[in-house]
Amino acid sequence: MRQVPHTAPLWPALPSTWRHLCRAFLASLALAGCDAPERPIPPVPNVILISLDTLRADHLGVYGYERPTSPEIDAFAGESFVFERALAPAPNTPPSQMTMMTSLTPGRHGFTGSWDTLAPDIETLAQRLSQAGLATAGFVDAGYLRAIFGFDRGFDTYDDRGGGLASIIPRALRWLDAHPDQRFFLFVHTYDIHAPYVSPAPYAGMFHETPYTGSLDPTAEALDAIWRESIEISAADLQHLVDSYDEGIRYTDAQLGQFLTALRERGRLDDTLIIITSDHGEEFGEHGSVSHWRLYFQPNLRIPLIIRLPGGGRVPERLTQPTQLLDVLPTILDAAGAPRLEAAQGRSLMPLITARTAGPERPADAVRAILGWWPEPLTQPRRSIILGDSQLIFDSAMPGKEELYDLAADPMTRNNLAADRPDEVARLLARARADLARNRPLPGTGEATQIELERRVLEQLEALGYRPVRTEAGAPAATPE
């Protein structure tokens, strides 16, 4: 854990004042039917960003799942803005998490997690908030969120000892208690949902309708073997994986509920913007395999994005405009009243949130193109573009292998329409190539960012299913789990 003395000026906490101002403003918008002004709400005093690694949106109750996997998150969402079409830029942790922290596509920031780190000149969310006077702290579950990969940039305190939320939350709360009079940005991350799918009692087994009698242990190594088709699994084995994954969500949800309760008891829910999201989903046979290494809209790219304003209360619940992890950084900076980051490629979602009571969606929001990368942006040619209700998956090294899906009619992307809609394939492919051309790596990425990884780091990454390797030419190449 690294700590840096924070010298930012103190900021008096004004939870009740902020809450009344926010609610009064939203009420005035609803009554007046006017557009949101450029500065729609007072700057939020504090921000908490929670990243629940490997959480697919459609396994939460708030996103329509029938199982009771997420009672705490569902209750939180009832006081929040829920984004229905939030997407990750890649189906694995390193590029997606770094996109969230930089508002740069994987093609721009270039971080792959394969023996590399973030380029030194790229500015992060924590840096910009620290410059704006907020105390900054990150409590993360090690793995690819370790400080050595550049995720600690801009944090006064960065604790990457891990241990899951059961260990992370108490440390985060102690940090909060030590900063009662400062504006703050707190980042919390966990791998509790990620493979291996192992939950403590009473969550282990709670979703197994019948006891599992097979031999499949839901480890990352087992998922890797299934992915590589070196072992075959039965329908009972697959159901065991789903049940175990869902139990991990329920356990994580309970831990998160305890954290939210502790924030409420400290009065922090009234003066803090809280965002819950993920970096990618997880797959269970929907496209013939498991894990999270495919670029399909659902289940791998569609993620939860839930934003609760300080004070909560009754606010619009659903927003259907296309959004992505690129938007998290601009949204937080906007909400906190911090200066914009000119290099950011995302947009603030605050205008959408505050204008929602005033009228229908703006046409431009419905045609936003969102790129996807599999999973190593510099050496792997697999890409995707989502535009409106269409998704195109293509391989720049193998023309003619395109896949086209109608997400409105086929959200699980099972019916490839490329042969029937060649004109649409050509249109989306041209748009994707133009966007990719604008997303070249920034200066300083590539071999200049190569690092050596200690054995203990490699061992933890391997336990999560990652095997960072180098190519013969020295360039990094990701190995799927």
Distance CA 111, CA 124 (A): 13
Cβ contact 411:297 at 8 Å: yes
Condensed to tens digits (0 to 9), the pLDDT of residues 185-222 reads 999 999 999 999 999 999 999 999 999 999 999 999 99
338 and 307 in a single domain? The answer is yes
226 and 327 in a single domain? The answer is yes
Distance CA 189, CA 160 (A): 10
Task: Provide the residue range defining the domain that includes 49.
Answer: 2-366
Distance CA 277, CA 327 (A): 12
- The pLDDT confidence band at residue 32, using thresholds 50, 70 and 90, is very low
Q: Which of 473, 297, 261 is nearest to 385 (CA)?
A: 297
Q: Which of 409, 466, 402, 456 is nearest to 429 (CA)?
A: 402
Determine the pLDDT at residue 20. Answer: 42
Residues 6+ away with beta carbon under 8 Å from 25: 40, 41, 354
What is the three-class DSSP state of 150?
A: coil
pTM of the model: 0.88
Count of domains forming the chain: 2
Considering the domain boundaries, does residue 477 fall inside one?
A: no
Condensed to tens digits (0 to 9), the pLDDT of residues 446-465 reads 665 778 888 888 888 888 87
Determine the pLDDT at residue 188. Answer: 98
302 and 353 in a single domain? The answer is yes
**Domain end among 341, 366, 391:** 366
DSSP structural state of residue 116 = B
Strands (E), 251-398: 272-277, 283-284, 290-291, 302-303, 305-308, 318-319, 323-324, 369-373, 382-387, 390-395
At 436, which CATH number?
A: 3.30.1120.10
pLDDT of 477 > 60? The answer is no
152 and 285 in a single domain? The answer is yes
* C-alpha dihedral, 35 to 41 to 46 to 50, nearest 10°: -10
Distance CA 95, CA 110 (A): 8
Considering the domain boundaries, does residue 460 fall inside one?
A: no
355 and 383 in a single domain? The answer is no
394 and 261 in a single domain? The answer is no
pLDDT of 239 > 90? The answer is yes
275 and 334 in a single domain? The answer is yes
152 and 87 in a single domain? The answer is yes
Q: Which two tokens stand for residue 285?
A: 């046979």
277 and 389 in a single domain? The answer is no
- The pLDDT confidence band at residue 61, using thresholds 50, 70 and 90, is very high
Length of the chain (residues): 481
Determine the pLDDT at residue 446. Answer: 64
Determine the pLDDT at residue 293. Answer: 85
Determine the pLDDT at residue 374. Answer: 76
Task: Transcribe 222-236 into DSSP letters.
Answer: HHHHHHTTSS---HH
Considering the domain boundaries, does residue 476 fall inside one?
A: no
Distance CA 101, CA 78 (A): 26
- The pLDDT confidence band at residue 16, using thresholds 50, 70 and 90, is very low
Residues 6+ away with beta carbon under 8 Å from 384: 295, 301, 371, 372, 373, 374, 391, 392, 393, 394, 432
Q: Which two tokens stand for residue 236?
A: 């009972």
pLDDT of 271 > 90? The answer is yes
Q: Which amino acid is at 461?
A: L
304 and 390 in a single domain? The answer is no
347 and 417 in a single domain? The answer is no
Residues 6+ away with beta carbon under 8 Å from 379: 471, 475, 476, 477
Q: Exposure of 7 by Cβ count < 10 A (0-12 exposed, 13-18 middle, 19+ buried)?
A: exposed
Condensed to tens digits (0 to 9), the pLDDT of residues 33-45 reads 333 344 446 789 9
At 322, which CATH number?
A: 3.40.720.10
Strands 135-139 and 283-284: unpaired
Q: How many Cα atoms are found within 13 Å in the side-chain-facing hemisphere of 138?
A: 29
pLDDT of 152 > 80? The answer is yes
Residues 6+ away with beta carbon under 8 Å from 166: 255
Give start and end residues of each alpha helix (H) in 178-325. Answer: 220-227, 235-265
Cβ contact 278:91 at 8 Å: no
Considering the domain boundaries, does residue 372 fall inside one?
A: no
Determine the pLDDT at residue 41. Answer: 64
**Domain end among 326, 343, 366:** 366
Considering the domain boundaries, does residue 67 fall inside one?
A: yes
What mean pLDDT is reported for the chain?
86
170 and 78 in a single domain? The answer is yes
| Residue pointed to by tokens 């960012």 | 449
Considering the domain boundaries, does residue 447 fall inside one?
A: no
Residue 108 CA: distances (Å) to CA of 322, 373, 450, 469, 473 = 21, 12, 16, 21, 21
Q: Which of 128, 151, 150, 119 is nearest to 138 (CA)?
A: 151
Considering the domain boundaries, does residue 454 fall inside one?
A: no
Determine the pLDDT at residue 357. Answer: 41
